[in-house]
Amino acid sequence: MSKIKTILVGDSQVGKTSIITQLVRQTFDEEYIQTIAGDKSTKDIDANGKTVSLEIWDTAGQEIYKNVNKIFMKNAKIAILVYDITSAESFKGLDDWYKQVCDVNDKETIKFGVIGNKSDLYEDQKVDKEEAEEYANKIKAVFGETSAMDYDSVFNYFTEICTAYNKMEEDNERKIREEEQKKQQKDKLDKIKDLPKEPSPKTIVLTQEEHKNVEEKKKSSGCC
């Protein structure tokens, strides 16, 4: 089964590494260890009976790694933009991350997601959930809130985005099939138009006089 390249992007310390660690290893570490280069892990998700085999790339949130990140972002099929619900700054930064992903990918073939992480710190929330949902709708992304401390919240989110990814793939495949059919029909019509025209049988109308002459000729030649 081919792997679906999935990237998590967002400002430093929003919890990208913690989300991936919880999803893949079901653990949470309070200590912060800065990600320097892209790190890869895998996880199979059952989305509505169809397994999606994810190859998840962690990226560095620090500004100095911006150019390195672009290499990791290339050819992604799922891109999840992560912010920290207790940091308005990290939410403001999302659009820049979105543009970076679009710079190196065709946005029509990529499924976007927006995660508001650290939902366990609800009391310190600085980002309006509705505003975040609105932004996600604008870029056609799957919105959700997670706490990297809670496996279910992370797992449920990934199941949701994988289901949306499957649907996008089916829609794109259907579009390609329909275009292919249209093209075949057009080719057929063009071929028919190009066929050489068969001469149509001609009807000759004879005058009474001419008709009489023909009949006489037939008789005199012993015909009929």
Ligand X SMILES: Nc1nc2c(ncn2[C@@H]2O[C@H](COP(=O)(O)OP(=O)(O)OP(=O)(O)O)[C@@H](O)[C@H]2O)c(=O)[nH]1
Residues forming the site for ligand X (CB under 6 A): 12-18, 29-30, 32, 34-35, 60-62, 117-118, 120-121, 147-149
Task: Tell me which of ligand X, Mg ion, none is bound by residue 166, counting a contact when its beta carbon lies within the kind-specific cut-off of 5 to 8 angstroms.
Answer: none
Kindly state the smallest distance separating residue 129's Cβ from ligand X, in Å: 15
Binding site for Mg ion (CB under 5 A): 17, 35
Q: Which of 166, 186, 154, 155 is nearest to 52 (CA)?
A: 166
For ligand X, give the closer residue by CB, 120 or 169. 120
Measured distance CA(158)–CA(54) in Å, rounded: 10
Say if CB 128 and CB 155 are below 8 A apart: no
Kindly state the smallest distance separating residue 111's Cβ from Mg ion, in Å: 22
Measured distance CA(11)–CA(60) in Å, rounded: 8
Kindly state the smallest distance separating residue 160's Cβ from ligand X, in Å: 17
Task: Tell me which of ligand X, Mg ion, none is bound by residue 48, counting a contact when its beta carbon lies within the kind-specific cut-off of 5 to 8 angstroms.
Answer: none
For ligand X, give the closer residue by CB, 1 or 64. 64
For ligand X, give the closer residue by CB, 57 or 166. 57
Say if CB 53 and CB 92 are below 8 A apart: no
What residue is closest to ligand X based on CB? 61
For ligand X, give the closer residue by CB, 29 or 152. 29
For Mg ion, give the closer residue by CB, 17 or 105. 17
Task: Tell me which of Mg ion, ligand X, none is bound by residue 77, counting a contact when its beta carbon lies within the kind-specific cut-off of 5 to 8 angstroms.
Answer: none
Kindly state the smallest distance separating residue 177's Cβ from ligand X, in Å: 40
Measured distance CA(56)–CA(45) in Å, rounded: 12
Alpha helices (H) in the chain, listed in sequence order: 16-25, 66-73, 88-92, 94-104, 129-138, 151-194, 208-220
Interstrand relation of 50-58 and 39-47 (parallel, antiparallel or unpaired): antiparallel
Residue 114 tokens read as 């927006």
Kindly state the smallest distance separating residue 87's Cβ from ligand X, in Å: 10
For Mg ion, give the closer residue by CB, 38 or 151. 38
CB atoms within 10 A of CB 61: 24
Say if CB 61 and CB 13 are below 8 A apart: yes
Kindly state the smallest distance separating residue 65's Cβ from ligand X, in Å: 8
Measured distance CA(95)–CA(90) in Å, rounded: 10
